[in-house]
Amino acid sequence: MDHQKILILDFGGQYNQLIARRVREQQVYCEVKPYDLPLEEIRRFDPIGIIFTGGPNSVYAAGSPHPDPGVFALGLPILGICYGCQLLAQELGGLVTAAQADSAREYGKTLTFFDPSCKLFRGLPEQSVTWMSHGDYLAKVPEGFSLCARSEACPTVGICDESRGFYGVQFHPEVNHTQYGSQMLRNFLYAVCGAAGGWTMAGYKQEAIENVRARVGGGKVLLALSGGVDSSVAAALLAEAVGSQLTCVFVDHGLMRKNEGDEVEAAFAPWDIHFVRVNAQDRFLGRLAGVTEPEQKRHIIGEEFIRVFEAEAKKIGQVDFLVQGTIYPDVIESGKGDAAVIKSHHNVGGLPEHVDFKEIIEPLRMLFKDEVRALGRELGLPEYLVSRQPFPGPGLGIRIIGEVTEEKLALLREADAIFRQEVARAGFPMDQYFAALTNMRSVGVMGDGRSYDYAVALRGVLTSDFMTADWARIPYELLDRVSSRIVNEVRGVNRVLYDITSKPPATVEFE
């Protein structure tokens, strides 16, 4: 890559991927790397600036994460956010302590005052609301640094050494709750780091196509096509890159939504690609019989996907490459290094140790969901495919709590179809919505008789990147119609619940 890059060193905070999103929104490419990235690799990455993320630790605690100290001598601008700010101060001669008074601990929306002469805050109001989340206190500012932001409770909200391009803020500019956070990040990128911008999906498309051609050469390629946004965009990219060397395999694992297998096949029928549909319902359900633990289900589904692809590859002949539509949030949530495993994605953490392919290609691996959609538009995909709601690779297998059976699948398909029909009819906008089958059965009264049936949970969220999400405020009238139809039309359900939990602390999916 010959474009300018920002390096984000990850210290384990909950908002870290949002920083990457905000940087890319400013048309500057960035990547998130572990905090202990060796100095030589940092040099090889060749960034124009570095951002230290937040994190849950205290910089003065034993075992707290610290970068290679040589990073401060690279001559690169550095922005430290929350833990990153405290780390910057501690490493350069300042002092960070636990807040001695409750008033010095700041959480949530906080009125903050800025020095507009500082490059980080240039052109912004002298006071606005920021989002704080820190219990430690910057008791001593390092030599050469000055104060550039404060709150009523904390005089050291922002510090800077403009001669070296070092900046630290105790608040989180990457979250929407910080009123001018995006502009602050833009100031760091353009006014401090000297970014020129210009990183676009059009450029990424050409770069990705060239990379695929270089890796594949004359080899044959098998693509795992689900019909979702990610795999569809990957298919379009590979079709443009290697054409007739590509075979797209759609595995119908029996965990699809109502009529979805037929719809996927029909959607790709007009494409000039080799499309293969494999009906493997019995195979997947057999492996899932008796399994209730979510991670085990994901791993089983991930392994079976690979085994089906290997079998199809043998039918085609020698296939060297397997392509997956893995995207950045999949990688992040599956955990890497010191990162926490939120849930294993079937195409990342769910892969078996051995795969019978020369290489796995993931051309979307560094893209967020909205970036994947933008790439799809660059590739000329129809809007109904690009805008399609995400559907997880494990399908309804992770929307059924507990064991997956044919009976439960049939029940959930009907409930989910009713929910989707009514939402579409009402035209209520949501980024993702679905029904899930809980493992709870409860007493009800139906037709003057006692019932003891399942509870279905409805889920609807609003999000731009699926790294965070807010629960959708669906009108009561719409929920009432959905609930009435499900209870009356789906045999085996006598209760409907609505999930009003955002992400975090929940995830979008149930398992």
Residue 172 annotated in active site: yes
Nearest to 251 by CA among 235, 264, 236, 242: 264
How would DSSP label each residue in 198-229? ---HHHHHHHHHHHHHHHHTT--EEEE--SSH
Residue 304 annotated in active site: no
Q: Which residue type occupies 348?
A: V
Alpha-carbon distance 437 to 404, whole Å? 10
Q: Which residue type occupies 149?
A: A
Catalytic residue among 30, 82, 85, 154: 82
Alpha-carbon distance 241 to 224, whole Å? 16
Alpha-carbon distance 155 to 240, whole Å? 56
Two structure tokens written together for 152:
């009523």
How would DSSP label each residue in 96-138? EEE-SSGGG-EEEEEEEEE-TTSGGGTTS-SEEEEEEEE-EEE
Catalytic residue among 106, 174, 260, 511: 174
Alpha-carbon distance 193 to 47, whole Å? 10
Q: What length does the chain have?
A: 511
Q: Strand (E) positions, 387-431?
A: none
Alpha-carbon distance 260 to 146, whole Å? 60
Alpha-carbon distance 170 to 86, whole Å? 8
- b/e code 454-489 from CB counts within 10 Å (16+ = b): bbbbbbbbebebbbbbebbebeeebbebbbebbbee
Q: Within a 13 Å sphere around the CA of 497, how many CA atoms are in the beta-carbon half?
A: 14
Residue 174 annotated in active site: yes
Catalytic residue among 134, 172, 299, 346: 172
Classify residue 15 by its DSSP letter: T
Catalytic machinery residues? 82, 172, 174
